[in-house]
Chain A
């Protein structure tokens, strides 16, 4: 019996050691790199940007850091989170950024009818959770809040390789074949709108926040503002274009009103000339390359932005 237990334990220890070793090897390989392009926590460390762009995919796919860099002479990083329009996600992501970098001078947050407040305890938005699986094992304190947001469980945190296998990131981490997905630092969609794949529809209006959600949104935004104030970051909220099918003036006026009430500068970049043309879009909610360039050409001349960055071109 003793021999059986000892030999079984030996094999179990050998196996555990092997798994630990593989986990360690993978952690070493991906350290400081992005695996899918979305997992930017580590590769935005020590960037020490002047401007941080925050928000959902409507930030991640719309803001070219290079544009701000060349036009306003501010070193820029885009840390928008695909699929996460809640202010809480941006808040946690920004806190993570601040823990890894010097505080920026400016922060731009996308603000539109798609935003929500978010709730850490009741969060059910797990979009792109797999991209954060690489941070789950034995997490550091900086990443802990985001891991709580994505609800990584004990097994995912303490069993080596478990999270990587569960979220099917194991081979991506080894091959790193997707790590250069977004070489420009944001998601630039080259395609024209395939209206068969993504039909022109007003369906996405169902995701607009309702009037009853406004108190929570205000609270979340206020907390975000306080975070910025604490680190002396100048905050600006921007509303970017959507296609006209999902546009309605009432809903798109709310974000500005909320910001004004909280005394946060707000800029509406949902230009009518852009939102009326399919050629600028990839789908109803996201601009393609042409759209981004068009929006940028307009932003370039926007006095409010110039004032925000306090430069005199």
Chain B
């Protein structure tokens, strides 16, 4: 059940009514409803694997309590190892077993060895990367005393399966979401209205920007060898907007829905395409994942390598980003994507500007250098996303090869796409980025309107957005959210 579908709208409307009207002041009943709703939401997509998420929740709930009860550090450590083995092991097995198996087989073949590692037909549970990271962070936080073990089963199970962010994040740590599940929630008008606005903006990004960009990028990346380089350039430039609008659109909808239910979940994007270097980009892109990796992978690694100065820092960054790449999926393209992003940190580490945070000028203006840096970072990200988008590393490099060609100056060929459509799409992207630029210090792009527009202008804008969403959701075949596959 994806957010921008009729079944979900019906499900959420009914859920919302029950949640606030039937059980408005009963936290326990709201939590039970939340849990049942989350399981229904999950089962709608993949009922066969509902047992898996329940079993994972049960094991981690039990381990959390036992870790807290344990008085000996040794016992705590071993109990947390069980949780980590289940989490990381489950993830590795479900998502990466066949990838490693195939890679080993290719290696053995290359070495002339007649060893065949068997491959298995495994169905990875939907959202496994997201709910596993929730349970891992919970176990580590309980062990390190950063959070208390949850003793209410409904609260913990709801935390793991919290439906707005179950399939594609944001990845909330237990210390963010669990306290909210444990306290009474009251309906707040302003928060709910802003939640609706954020959902509207998320839908706009997904339906108008991402789905339309996908019409071009999918075709060009599939037939890149037969098309002029100018077509490849267009697809390469559109893909960053597609993936950003797709993923941040989902996050906006998830955050907006959570706000409608009285929760404040982790922000996932902070206008990353206005970043002036790659470190800033990663602080603003998929923030819940970056923060998770920073806390549980990068920080321990940088402490471990701290005696090696910059080399240690670089090594920690490189390992961290390679693992970030692997997290995305079982393909060498993701590993290379992560590794390259790690490499891009080298100049920043050398200059010592990796952690330097840029603040916007009060009047929102940009210097020429800042503008250049934004373009430079966007360019780097755009070129690297080709690897992310490609089916294989070979295909990615072949795409680059085809891109550097005389046909770059030819009229682009886009199958089934008229120039009028392309111009329309570009104008929507310009509007999208313009709105995001206006709101760069806010939570989301429609957040800044309250002070800048009168109520009728705002309503007209909402109606316009609703209309283009309606228009394109009727017209363009809906594409799956890219990050659901991860």
Residues of A in contact with B (beta carbons under 8 Å apart): 1, 3-4, 7-8, 11, 14-15, 18-19, 155, 161-162, 165-166, 168, 170
Contacts and interface: CB of A to CB of B under 8 A. Distances in A.
B470 A161 contact: yes
Contacts, number: 39
Contact of B187 (A4, A8, A18): A4
B196 A161 contact: no
A170 B471 CA distance: 9
A21 to B, nearest CB: 11
Contacts of A19: 467, 470
Given A4-B187, A4-B189, A8-B196, A15 B466 contact: yes
A18 B196 contact: no
B474 interface: yes
A165 B462 contact: no
Interface string B2-14: 0000100000000
Given A11-B462, A162-B474, A168-B475, A4 B192 contact: yes
B67 to A, nearest CB: 40
B463 A161 contact: no
Contacts of B192: 4
Contacts of B20: 1
B18 interface: no
Given A8-B196, A15-B466, A165 B474 contact: yes
Contacts of B463: 11, 14-15, 18
A8 B466 CA distance: 13
Interface string B244-274: 0000000000000000000000000000000
Given A4-B189, A18-B467, A19-B467, A166 B459 contact: no
A170 B474 CA distance: 11
Nearest to A165: B474
Contacts of A1: 20-21, 24, 187, 189
B196 A3 contact: no
A168 B189 CA distance: 38
B467 A165 contact: no
Contacts of B466: 15
Nearest to A22: B467
A300 B474 CA distance: 49
A165 B471 contact: yes
Contacts of B462: 11
Contacts of A170: 471, 475
Nearest to A10: B459
12 contacts: A1-B21, A1-B24, A1-B187, A3-B189, A4-B187, A4-B189, A4-B193, A8-B196, A14-B459, A18-B467, A165-B470, A165-B471
A165 to B, nearest CB: 3
A264 B192 CA distance: 70
B475 A165 contact: yes
A161 B193 CA distance: 27
B451 to A, nearest CB: 19
B258 to A, nearest CB: 16
Given A3-B189, A11-B462, A170-B475, 7 more contacts: A4-B193, A7-B193, A8-B196, A15-B467, A19-B470, A161-B470, A165-B474
Nearest to B472: A165
B474 A11 contact: no
Nearest to A164: B474
Nearest to B20: A1
Interface string B265-287: 00000000000000000000000
B323 to A, nearest CB: 43
Contacts of B187: 1, 4
A18 B472 CA distance: 16
Interface in B442-486: 459, 462-463, 466-467, 470-472, 474-475
Given A1-B20, A11-B459, A161-B470, A166 B193 contact: no
Contacts of B196: 8
Considering residues B6, B196, B475, which has the most beta carbons from chain A within 10 angstroms of its beta carbon?
Answer: B475
Contacts of B470: 19, 161, 165
A155 B21 CA distance: 29
Contact of B474 (A3, A4, A18, A166): A166
Nearest to B200: A11
A168 B463 CA distance: 21
Contacts of B475: 165-166, 168, 170
A4 B193 CA distance: 7
Nearest to B195: A4
A170 B189 CA distance: 37
A19 B469 CA distance: 12
Nearest to B6: A155
Nearest to A14: B463
A48 B319 CA distance: 80
A168 B21 CA distance: 40
Nearest to A167: B475
Contacts of B474: 161-162, 165-166
Contacts of B6: 155
Interface in B180-194: 187, 189, 192-193
Nearest to B471: A165
A86 B463 CA distance: 44
Contacts of A11: 459, 462-463
Q: In the complex, which of the residues A4, A7, A166 has the most CB atoms of chain B within 10 Å of its own CB atom? A: A4
A3 B188 CA distance: 11
A4 B467 CA distance: 21
A206 B425 CA distance: 41
Interface string B147-187: 00000000000000000000000000000000000000001
A18 B459 CA distance: 13
A177 to B, nearest CB: 12
A7 B192 CA distance: 12
Contacts of A155: 6
A292 B462 CA distance: 55
Interface in B6-62: 6, 20-21, 24
A19 B470 CA distance: 9
B458 to A, nearest CB: 10
Contacts of B467: 15, 18-19
Contacts of A14: 459, 463
A88 B230 CA distance: 48
A18 B463 CA distance: 9
A138 B315 CA distance: 65
A170 B472 CA distance: 11
Nearest to B21: A1
Contacts of A161: 470-471, 474
B415 to A, nearest CB: 16
Nearest to A8: B196
A162 B21 CA distance: 32
B191 to A, nearest CB: 10
Contacts of B24: 1
A8 B471 CA distance: 20
Contacts of A18: 463, 467
A162 B472 CA distance: 10
